[in-house]
Amino acid sequence: MKKIKLDIVNETVYYEKLDNGLDVYVLKKNNFHSSFATFMTNFGGKDVEFIPINEDKMVKMPSGIAHFLEHKLFEQETGESVHDFYKKSGSYVNAMTGYKSTKYIFKGPNNFKENLNYLLDYVQSPYFTDQNVEKEKGIILEEARMDLDNPYRLFSEAVLKNLFKSSIYENTIIGSMDDIKSITKEDLYRCYNSFYHPSNMALLIVTNEDENEIIELVKNNQKNKQFKKDFKIIKKEYEETEKVRTKKEIIYGNVNETRVCYSLKFKLSYFNASKIEVLDYFTIFFDIVIGLLSSFNLKLKEDKIIKKDIDFNVLTEKVKDEEYVIFNLSTFTEKTNKFISLLKEQLLKKDYTKELFDLYKKTIISDMNYQFNSINGIMRFLTAEYEFYNKISNDIIKIESNLNYDRFKEITNKINTDNESIVIMKKNKKTML
């Protein structure tokens, strides 16, 4: 068992890779009265083209199949409800599918070891029949219909789709109606066997239980289960460029206010920096130049150009051998052209000082410490880092403690607006911009 020291937050994560390839991470919190476990696989909504295990040809699965599979793993051959099992100990259970991964979680104050065993068992015991797959279709189709009425999901999906020329975000996580209807039990087993191998999964745990006992429990649970050796996942490799797919799109939804997202796309290599450097330095940059307390944000609200604060996020996406960085900046405004014009001007001003940089650097570090005061915050950190790096290490904390102003200027001075994409969502009434 390896110890991973997380310096700034003064915590230790215990790690072991099992013989079957499963990554197990345990962070012990003696003063917590509840435990939290996440069992996750690197299989999500965008993984629809791959060579299934024991086959030799690339296939294209129906969109939404990762989400459908998540639903079906809650149905056990014994007929027992997973939700009912956890309810007996007062534990919360859920699952969620994203574009890149699927997570199965539980948390609660009681029966942690029994609940952990059950988590591993139900996720690793698929039971699909023609009948239960057909029954599930009705439930998921209803969920998909509700999604069609969710303007914010439609908005975020349009933003991602318009940024990438390849088809990685062509499909939605839940899938189209026709794709959902077409899914078979054979499709589900092919996906499950191809992606739910322990070597493509991780178990993340926050608990007050002894870390040695927990890892031993996981080992005992796994040792009698049979998994294919020499496991290899072969996904389709897409072609991508730094150019966006769609420069501008107006969509319509059931909204009362017009929303706009201004996005920029770069190759990570353009910044000559690591992913975490780009993430941290540009988080500080956007906080300073357009954030909640920036003079720019306050002036736009004062002049009634925007109705709410400007939200922003920094994303990364690897396509084939190239990593891409995305900046999404969004707000609510009826004056979309004016907002975009002023925003572009502000981004190129480089309107910051060392004093502001030092202030927001301290904020990042204090936010991390605050995050480790709650079990939910710790699990958010662990899952985000695992998805970001495919491991949990002290690297992110080392980099954040060594952020410096000269490097900040060097990286953020490279921002430009050459590869922009704009999505505007208006009311369900087609009017000209």
CA atoms within 13 A on the CB side of 135: 8
In the β-sheet with 2-6, what is the strand arrangement from edge to edge? 2-6, 11-17, 23-28, 201-207, 35-41, 102-108, 92-97
pLDDT in tens, 208-257: 999 999 999 999 999 989 888 878 899 998 989 999 999 999 999 889 99
Amino acid at 240: E
pLDDT in tens, 357-383: 999 999 888 888 888 999 999 999 999
pLDDT for position 224? 86
Residue whose C-alpha is closest to residue 385's, from 20, 106, 13: 13
CATH number corresponding to 2-235? 3.30.830.10
CATH number corresponding to 248-426? 3.30.830.10
**Which residues of the chain are modeled with pLDDT < 70?**
429-433
Contact call for residues 44 and 66 (beta carbons, < 8 A) = yes
Q: Which residue intervals of the chain bear CATH 3.30.830.10? A: 2-235, 248-426
Catalogue the active-site residues: 70
Look up the pTM and report it.
0.93
Contact call for residues 57 and 398 (beta carbons, < 8 A) = no
The encoded tokens of residue 265 equal 């796309």
